[in-house]
Structure 1
Amino acid sequence: MRKDSRLSRVLHVLVHLEMTDQPVTSDKMAEMLFTNPVVVRRTMALLRNQGFVRSTKGHNGGWSLAKPLNNITLLDIHKALGETSVFTIGLTDEHTNCPIEHSVNAALKDVMNEAEGLMLERFGEITLDVLGKEFKK
């Protein structure tokens, strides 16, 4: 199963944006993240829609922060990305009539919901400025 690394990749980009004095292009971000610029633009558009970043067109254009990182939490970014779960593991639904599957799913669901609730609560307490403190210019 492939891990969803969008949250960590976006956090990486946001810390870089904090440390630069000029907008960063989608091409440059894509190069940094080993991905396609179209993927970067789509992802950054989600953040722009929530007011976390802005984009400028033309020569010397690109992406920049619209808010200081100390006003953005991990939870804000998680929500902006449209993430439904912090876990990439899921419940099985291949044998919907099987009582064992129902029992296993019920046990996993309770544990995963509790863990996710605690994780999201903690996400809401962590602002992004702490992520790059050791790298400040």
Structure 2
Amino acid sequence: MRQDSRLSRMLHVLIHIGRHEGAMTSEMIAQMLDANPVVIRRTMAGLRDEGYVSSVKGHGGGWTLARPLEKLTLLDIYRAVGEPSIFAVGPANDMPGCLIEQAVNGTLTDAFNEAEELLHKRFAGVTLADIPSGFPEISEQEGDRRCST
């Protein structure tokens, strides 16, 4: 099963935007992520709709942060990218009339909901500014070179 990497990719992008002087174009971001600029624009539009980034069209345009990294949490971005499923496992619905299947599904659903709530709380407590604090300061140009390989 393929993992949904939208959250990780957008966190990566937003931190770069926050450290970049000026706007970053969809083409720059797409090259960094080895993705299609149209996909980047579509995903970034969701972040713009939430007020997390701004965009300017045309020459000299691109994407900039509408809020500082300190004011954006993992939970904000998780929700903005559509709240992708956290779990690859889930309840079965092969025999909806079976009482045992219903009991199993109820138990699993309760556990999944509890784990998801805990993860949401953790996401709410981490800002995007907290993420790069664990590595040494590097220039944006050096960071761009590392991410484009």
Separation of aligned partners in 1, 2:94 and 2:56 = 47
Distance 1:88 1:54, change over 3 A: farther
Separation of aligned partners in 1, 2:125 and 2:131 = 13
Distance 1:95 1:121, change over 3 A: same
Letter in 1 for 2:50: Q
Question: What pairs up with 1:102-113 in 2 under 5 angstroms?
Answer: 102-113=102-113
Separation of aligned partners in 1, 2:136 and 2:76 = 22
Partner of 2:76: 76
Shift of 1:19: 1.3
CA contact (8 A) 1:4 1:88 kept: no
Q: Deviations over 1:77-127 (max 9, x none)?
A: 111122164334322223322333222211211111111111101111111
Letter in 2 for 1:66: A
Letter in 1 for 2:24: V
Separation of aligned partners in 2, 1:4 and 1:100 = 31
Question: What pairs up with 1:6-25 in 2 under 5 angstroms?
Answer: 6-25=6-25
Q: Are residues 1:129 and 2:129 paired? A: yes
How many percent identity over aligned positions?
Answer: 50
Distance 1:27 1:135, change over 3 A: farther
Q: Are residues 1:33 and 2:46 paired? A: no
Q: What runs of 5+ residues in structure 2 fail to find an aligned partner?
A: 140-149
Separation of aligned partners in 2, 1:12 and 1:58 = 24
Shift of 1:135: 4.7
Q: CA RMSD in A?
A: 1.6
Moved over 3 A (4+): none
Aligned length: 137
TM-score, normalising length: structure 2: 0.83
CA contact (8 A) 1:53 1:67 kept: yes
Letter in 1 for 2:95: H
Partner of 1:95: 95
Separation of aligned partners in 1, 2:66 and 2:82 = 19
TM-score, normalising length: structure 1: 0.90
SS at match of 1:128: coil
Distance 1:115 1:93, change over 3 A: same
Q: Deviations over 1:41-80 (max 9, x none)?
A: 1110011011110011111211111110000111111111
Distance 1:135 1:51, change over 3 A: farther
Separation of aligned partners in 2, 1:135 and 1:33 = 22
Separation of aligned partners in 2, 1:38 and 1:44 = 10
